[in-house]
């Protein structure tokens, strides 16, 4: 296959654990050709979408080489993988429009750009109310305070962040309630999500990877460090691979079928305890940690290889 990865700047990637690089290593090992670009390398001239991309190859020592950029048609690739990290800002939105036009011109885009645009990673849990904790989405302080009064312990978070940024736990006696809500809602002008706090977060915020509708057998439980509410690895959480529970599998199987219908090929579900809390469709991570920790298990699981094998089946 000839694969194009849309990435953040290469020098900003954390080489030893980056999921995109793991997929690229797996693809190269299986004989596929790699190309890379960033989101600002895409352009539309009249009705035609093109991209300025460069070839990419790993050296034996793990370093890599790239070529000079050349302008190519996205349809020339067997698959274009959108792996740009959030925030989902206007530039990200504009990129999905260009990718959708490229898709109409014959390119295979993963994940489907319209689905990336339509499945907000926080709000999408509303599609599966049977699996969610109590929550509200609002910018209004009085609504949030009423929700806090009802549940006593809540999580508030922005709708466009990643890595745990902007997430706060609030209890009735917190002296910073008003300051936090004013900051997150920008004085009631920005909508946020408010969820009931789930005590099982101490056991980990489980990342379940779903590839073409099928969940992997292991989740990565991201366990908060001492004194921290957030389990995100970017916030200092510890990633521990573990088999899916019966409830995890029920959630992932049900949600996975819907994801596949919408062209969402690689997705990371976040599950705390028995509750679905997020549906990550932009650039889900955790592959390296699961592969490393499960290598001596039965069965072992290398998500990056499984992802490339699934792509091969899709393209065949």
* Known catalytic residue at 270: yes
Length of the chain: 316
**Which residues, including other chains, have CB under 8 Å from residue 142's CB and lie 6 or more apart?**
none
* Known catalytic residue at 41: no
Of the candidates 25, 207, 248, 289, the residue annotated as catalytic is: 207
Strand 109-110 and strand 192-196: pairing? unpaired
Neighbours of 241 (CB within 10 A): 21
Please give the Cα distance from 267 to 257 (Å, whole number): 12
Output the CA angle 211-215-217, nearest 5 degrees.
125
* Known catalytic residue at 157: yes
Please give the Cα distance from 135 to 210 (Å, whole number): 24
Structure-token pair, residue 9: 């700047």
Of the candidates 112, 206, 230, 302, the residue annotated as catalytic is: 230
* Known catalytic residue at 120: no
Please give, one letter per residue, the 3-state secondary structure of 244-264: CCHHHHHHHHHHHHHHHHCCC
Please give the Cα distance from 234 to 163 (Å, whole number): 5
Of the candidates 25, 122, 196, 206, the residue annotated as catalytic is: 122
* Known catalytic residue at 153: no
Of the candidates 83, 108, 157, 206, the residue annotated as catalytic is: 157
Instruction: Spell out where the chain has E strands.
Output: 2-6, 33-37, 42-45, 48-58, 64-66, 70-72, 79-82, 109-110, 135-138, 153-158, 168-171, 192-196, 205-211, 214-215, 218-223, 238-243, 266-272, 275-280
* Known catalytic residue at 196: no
* Known catalytic residue at 122: yes
Of the candidates 112, 278, 289, 302, the residue annotated as catalytic is: 278
- Active site (catalytic) residues: 122, 157, 207, 222, 230, 270, 278, 280
């Amino acid at each position: 296959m000839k694969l194009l990865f849309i990435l953040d700047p290469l020098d900003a990637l954390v080489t030893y654990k980056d999921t995109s690089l793991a997929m690229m290593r797996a693809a190269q090992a299986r004989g596929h050709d790699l190309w890379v670009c960033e989101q600002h390398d895409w352009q539309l001239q009249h009705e035609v979408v093109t991209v300025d991309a460069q070839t990419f190859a790993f050296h034996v020592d793990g370093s890599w080489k790239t070529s000079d950029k050349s302008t190519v048609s996205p349809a020339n690739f067997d698959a274009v993988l959108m792996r740009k990290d959030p925030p989902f800002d206007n530039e990200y939105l504009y990129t999905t429009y260009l990718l959708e036009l490229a898709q109409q011109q014959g390119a295979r885009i993963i994940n489907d750009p319209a689905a990336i645009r339509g499945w907000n990673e926080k709000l999408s849990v509303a599609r599966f109310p049977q699996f969610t904790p109590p929550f509200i989405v609002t910018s209004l302080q009085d609504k949030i305070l009423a929700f806090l009064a009802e549940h006593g312990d809540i999580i508030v978070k922005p709708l466009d962040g990643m890595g745990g940024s902007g997430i706060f736990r609030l209890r009735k006696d917190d002296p910073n309630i008003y300051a936090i809500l004013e900051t997150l809602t920008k004085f009631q002008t920005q909508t946020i999500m408010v969820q009931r706090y789930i005590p099982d977060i101490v056991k980990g915020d489980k990342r379940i990877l779903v590839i073409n509708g099928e969940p992997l057998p292991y989740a990565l439980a991201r366990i908060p460090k001492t004194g921290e509410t957030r389990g995100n690895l970017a916030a200092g959480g510890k990633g521990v691979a573990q088999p899916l529970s019966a409830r995890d599998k029920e959630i992932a199987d049900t949600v996975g079928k819907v994801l596949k219908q919408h062209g969402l090929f690689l997705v990371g579900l976040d599950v705390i305890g028995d509750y679905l809390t997020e549906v990550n469709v932009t650039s889900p991570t955790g592959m390296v940690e699961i592969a490393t920790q499960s290598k001596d298990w039965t069965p072992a699981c290398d998500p990056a290889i499984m992802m490339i094998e699934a792509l091969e089946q899709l393209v065949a």
